[in-house]
Structure formats: structure tokens, C-alpha cells
Amino acid sequence: MDLIASVVNWKELGDTVLYAFAGAMAVSLSASLGIWGGTRYVDLSQEGRGVIGGFALLVGVIGLLANIAIIALGIFLMVSK
């Protein structure tokens, strides 16, 4: 066990797992908001409720922009280290 403990830096490994989990949750949430907003917009606009559908579309666009920003931040952090 001492050999494994000296080879593996457990703090760095734990930080990597934590950051990867947080990043995966952020990307999943923002992508799901984008998909929800787009589908809700289509449903509401077909029902003739365009104003509320527009707000749903706004949520979808914000979700997709957040998704792009999170991915770009992740790439930037990987390249800069």
C-alpha cells in the first residue's frame, strides 16, 4: 500500500474527480435547459401562446449559450495548464 500511496497523489486525483463531476453536471443542466426551451417554444407557439413561448425560447438560448461558454472555459483551462 505504501508504494501505491507514494505513486498516486490522492489530493490531485480527488480534485480532478470533483471538478469533472461539477463540469459534467453544469454541461448537462445547461444543455437540458436549451432543449427544454426549444421544445417548449414549439409547443406553445403551436397553441397560439407566442409571448410565453418567446420566454421559453429565451431560456433555451441562454441555456445553449451557457453550454458553449462552459465548454469553452473547460478547453481554456486545459490548454492553459
Cell of 40: 417548449
* pLDDT in the model for residue 23: 92
Per-residue pLDDT of the chain (81 residues), as tens digits, is: 566 667 778 888 899 999 999 999 999 999 999 999 999 999 999 999 999 999 999 999 999 999 999 999 999 988 997
* pLDDT in the model for residue 33: 95
Buried b or exposed e, range 3-26, using 16+ CB within 10 angstroms: eeeeeeeeeeeeeeeeeeeeeeeb
Q: How much of the chain is helix, strand and coil, in % rounded to 5?
A: 90, 0, 10
